[in-house]
């Protein structure tokens, strides 16, 4: 019996074969994969195991922690709120959050958060594990933090992105980003997607498992060496301060908190529909997510070059990671935008192909940007587009 459920249109059958091969490998547990092409859902697949005891199969409605794929979802919320006139990307952060002015940061703009150019990529002072779940405490710690480098240098903000953009968003709109996401996007579009997952939805949350360490990814090797060499440096602090950020991803506290940088829970179908709308002029099934005139903000490059946090070149637009010119960081064409997540999930849009792609799974790999499993599925997708 096939491990794969769902459907695929004949033109994309090669994607189904690639997905099934992944589920049958030792590098997979359960996953969902979806593709929207020219406004139509052409691939919607799921399969494998959702729990640790192999008692629960991955179902159509299963969701899983998407980690940094959450940043792309947050960016969509921000751009939609900007369209509505709630704030501007050129507004200063301190216009809404005066406390952020500490340590000479009063000049920073909301756009700097989205482009990872605030310099607040990590909190230097040691944060206790339990404080991860205390929103006010973490926002205070971020506001007190000085930039790690002079303005102009960009550096990835794995966790602090969420507190910075989330607090500005809350103060500017009067809503948390999780609330806004539900009211403005999820409910109208009929998506399975949460930033802050209600306990009532836990029964369909897949259990995240960590895969075996694998050597050979130069990005991982470089980052690991830096963290080991300099445990008090920005890379180490960015990923492991507070230390609970590396643990507890299946806990009630992690799932229910709102952290717009890392703890979104969703599936491939929801990501594909979000990005499919953005790749289709901003709308899907009659619902306009963003206006056409807003869309260039998604693919206009705002930061590129060497990233002192990830120790590799990165490229960003307004809240999205852009496809890189590297086999380990490439997804789609030069204007493709989206975000990978720790462990291998990814969602992105390719406006030149009118393509939205979403892949979510629960067996974390050790790769930094585009996981080889996702790469196989992306390659199969583009092979279908060109055949």
Q: In CATH, which of 3.30.300.30, 3.30.1330.60, 3.40.710.10, 3.20.20.150 is domain 4-386?
A: 3.40.710.10
* Residue 299 main-chain phi, psi, to 5 deg: -115, 5
Q: Is the dihedral of CA 101, 104, 110, 115 positive or negative?
A: negative
- Cβ atoms of 250 and 136 within 8 Å: the answer is no
The residues, ordered by sequence, that sit 6+ positions from 245 with a Cβ below 8 Å of its Cβ are: 132, 159, 239, 262
| pLDDT digits 0-9 by tens, 252-289 | 999 999 999 999 999 999 999 999 999 999 999 999 99
Q: For residue 324, which of 297, 301, 357 has the smallest C-alpha distance? A: 301
What is the SS3 string spanning 258-322? CCCCCCEEECHHHHHHHHHHHCCCCEECCEECCCCCCCHHHHCCCEEEEECCCCEEEEECCCCEE
- Cβ atoms of 32 and 360 within 8 Å: the answer is yes
Q: Helix, strand, coil shares of the chain as percentages rounded to 5?
A: 40, 20, 40
The per-residue pLDDT string of the chain (387 residues; one tens digit each, 9 = 90 and over) reads 358 999 999 999 999 999 999 999 988 899 999 999 999 999 999 999 999 888 899 999 999 999 999 999 999 999 999 999 999 999 999 999 999 999 999 999 999 999 999 999 999 999 999 999 999 999 999 999 999 999 999 999 999 999 999 999 999 999 999 999 999 999 999 999 999 999 999 999 999 998 766 555 677 777 878 888 888 999 999 998 998 877 789 999 999 999 999 999 999 999 999 999 999 999 999 999 999 999 999 999 999 999 999 998 999 999 999 998 776 688 999 999 999 999 899 999 999 999 999 999 999 988 888 999 999 999 999 999 998
> In Å, how far are 21, 289, 351, 365, 384 from 380, measured between CA atoms?
12, 28, 18, 20, 6
- Cβ atoms of 192 and 44 within 8 Å: the answer is no
First to last CA, the chain: 29
pLDDT of residue 215: 59
Q: How many residues does the chain have?
A: 387
Rg (CA), the chain: 19
Rounded Cα–Cα distance for residues 136 and 169 (Å): 14
Domain ranges of the chain: 4-386
The residues, ordered by sequence, that sit 6+ positions from 166 with a Cβ below 8 Å of its Cβ are: 74, 135, 176, 177, 258, 259, 260
Take residue 63 and report the two structure tokens written for it. Answer: 């969701």
């Amino acid at each position: 019996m096939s491990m794969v459920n769902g459907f695929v249109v004949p033109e994309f059958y090669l994607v189904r074969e690639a997905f099934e091969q992944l589920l049958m490998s030792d590098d997979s547990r359960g996953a969902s994969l979806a593709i929207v092409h020219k406004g139509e859902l052409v691939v919607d697949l799921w399969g494998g195991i959702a729990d640790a005891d192999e008692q629960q199969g991955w179902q159509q409605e299963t969701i899983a922690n998407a980690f940094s794929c959450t940043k792309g979802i947050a960016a969509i919320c921000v751009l939609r709120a900007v369209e509505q006139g709630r704030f501007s990307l050129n507004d200063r952060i301190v216009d809404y959050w005066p406390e952020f002015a500490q340590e000479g940061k009063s000049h920073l703009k909301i756009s700097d958060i989205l482009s990872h150019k605030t310099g607040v990529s990590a909190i230097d002072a040691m944060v206790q594990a339990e404080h991860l779940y205390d929103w006010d405490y973490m926002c205070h710690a971020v506001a007190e933090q000085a930039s790690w480098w002079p303005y102009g240098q960009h550096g990835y903000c794995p966790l602090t992105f969420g507190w910075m953009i989330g607090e500005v968003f809350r103060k500017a709109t009067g809503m948390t980003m999780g609330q806004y996401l539900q009211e403005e996007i999820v409910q109208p579009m009929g998506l399975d997607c949460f930033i802050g997952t209600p306990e009532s939805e836990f029964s369909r949350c897949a259990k995240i498992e960590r895969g075996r360490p694998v050597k050979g990814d130069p990005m991982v090797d470089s980052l690991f060496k830096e963290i080991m060499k300099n445990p008090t440096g920005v890379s180490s602090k960015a990923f492991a301060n507070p230390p609970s950020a590396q643990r507890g991803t299946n806990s009630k506290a992690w799932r229910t908190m709102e952290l717009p940088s890392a703890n979104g829970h969703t599936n491939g179908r929801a990501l594909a529909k979000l990005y499919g709308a953005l790749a289709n002029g901003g709308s899907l099934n009659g619902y306009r997510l963003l206006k056409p005139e807003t869309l260039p903000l998604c693919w206009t490059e705002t930061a590129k070059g060497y990233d002192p946090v990830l120790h590799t070149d990165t490229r960003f637009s307004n809240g999205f990671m852009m496809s890189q010119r590297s086999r380990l960081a490439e997804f789609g064409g030069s204007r493709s935008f989206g975000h990978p997540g720790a462990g291998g999930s990814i969602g992105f849009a390719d406006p030149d192909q009118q393509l939205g792609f979403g892949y979510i799974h629960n067996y974390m790999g050790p790769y930094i940007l585009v996981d080889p499993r996702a790469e196989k599925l992306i390659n199969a997708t583009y092979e279908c587009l060109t055949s």
